[in-house]
Amino acid sequence: MTSSSAVHSALAPYGWDDAWADAFTPYEAEGLLPGRVVRVDRGQCDVVTPRGVLRADTAFVTPHDPLRVVCTGDWVAVEPGGNPRYVRAYLPRRTAFVRSTSSKRSEGQILAANVDHAVVAVSLAVELDLGRVERFLALAWESGAQPVVVLTKADLVPDPVTLAHLVQDVGTTAPGVPVLTVSALHGDGLDVLVALVGSGTSVLLGQSGAGKSTLANALVGEDVMDVRAARDVDGKGRHTTTTRNLLPLPSGGVLIDTPGLRGVGLFDAESGVGQVFSEIEELAQRCRFHDCAHESEPGCAVRSAVDSGELPVRRLESYRKLMRENQWIVAKTDARLRSEIRKDWKRKGAQGKAAMEAKRGRWS
């Protein structure tokens, strides 16, 4: 039996605390070992335990629900021996980063668990895609983690005025979110990021070619991740990271590096979208109708803000797009909501048809 002091000494650098120890108590009585999943690969995982890193099979706890499979960042109860050795259970997650899969079944895919900070890496080597930044932030807020946007490859924007404008553009799309500029190549801005991720667990997110592996190497202090050059034409690169890896940081805390995400689908992330577009949510409270769609309704505070220039039209369009996408994903698994959406579409279609007929009547 491993003593509690030995467990704490071995696992504290990976985030073990008294709350996790209490949650593990039932499994300790069964003689199982506590550990944190640092990598998952084809039904097997590497788990850091008081006895070192153990290889274990996840088949015992792999259900039909893809959101309940073992993932990087999970705290688990693992068998101390056996061939094969099995993970017997994972402890209740504090947070979970989930996106929708590309499958037609619209299942969720869990990317990382028990995350405190979601670091969204955005490359300055290519034109900013603010809509994609908003999408990443919606998923980050929904996970329960605190997001931070890191503009990588800042050395490619030597003009400080231009760089300040880019930071401002991102800041307007990320209310309440820190926006940092970093050059991992020269070390500029890393001290601020190191301080931010120096406690708890951080997950590193972004498209392929965003400089995540270079950033991970800079934070870890050694070349632990493969780095390859991005294409000049679009800034994209090959997936240098193919699995999610949990890495301890010398300054404290741990980092989960993820593969580049080409598709970032929402999965039941309405509250996350609301936080990304908090100014629209606040304006909506002043609309005349509580169910205002912010289209052509009278007394719409959101449309008034667009007309006055207070709210950029791009923000409203992006908000509508993400809300529609999220509603559609949820509706695929909710028959009642799906019926309501169809009724709403029919109602709006009838209103549009009536408006056209009224116009024809005036013209004739």
Enclosing H/E stretch for 256: strand 254-257
| Residue 5's pLDDT band (cuts 50, 70, 90) | confident
Burial class (CB in 10 A: 0-12, 13-18, 19+), 101: middle
pLDDT tens for each residue of 282-334? 999 999 998 888 888 899 999 999 999 999 999 999 999 888 888 766 666 55
Q: Which two tokens stand for residue 264?
A: 């970032």
pLDDT confidence bin for 264, thresholds 50/70/90: low
- Kindly report, residue by residue over 42-73, the tens digit of the pLDDT: 889 999 999 999 999 998 886 677 778 899 99
Token pair 């580049």 in the structure block, residue = 260
Return the pLDDT at 206: 85
Structure tokens at 336: 């009642």
How many other CB atoms are found less than 10 A from the CB of residue 46? Answer: 19
Q: What is the pTM of this model?
A: 0.80
pLDDT, residue 16, reads: 94
CB 253 within 8 A of CB 200: yes
Whole-number Cα distances in Å, 3 to 9, 75, 282: 10, 18, 52
pLDDT bracket for residue 102 (50, 70, 90): low
pLDDT score, position 220: 87
CB 45 within 8 A of CB 53: no
CA gap 298, 288 in Å, rounded = 7
Residues 111 and 102 sit within 8 Å (Cβ to Cβ) = no
Q: What integer is the mean pLDDT of 214-243?
A: 58
Q: Give yes or no for residue 236 having a pLDDT over 80.
A: no
The yes-or-no verdict on residue 175 having pLDDT over 70 is yes
Quote the DSSP letter at residue 72: T
Question: Average pLDDT of 224-231?
Answer: 46
Q: Are 311 and 272 in contact (CB under 8 A)?
A: no
Mean pLDDT throughout 205-229?
A: 74
- Concatenating the DSSP letter of every residue in 192-226 gives HHHHHTSSSEEEEE--TTSSHHHHHHHHHTS--S-
What's the CA gap between 200 and 215, in Å, rounded? 18
Range from 104-113, 276-285, 287-296 carrying the lowest mean pLDDT = 104-113
Show Cβ contacts of residue 130 under 8 Å, excluding neighbours closer than 6 positions: 169, 170, 173, 314, 318
With contact defined as beta carbons under 8 Å apart, do 114 and 145 qualify?
A: no
Q: Choose among 137, 76, 74, 152: nearest CA to 111.
A: 74
What whole-number percentage of the chain has pLDDT above 90?
A: 48
Question: How many CA atoms lie within 13 Å of 56's alpha carbon, on the beta-carbon side?
Answer: 33
Residues 6+ apart with CB under 8 A from 20: 34, 75, 91
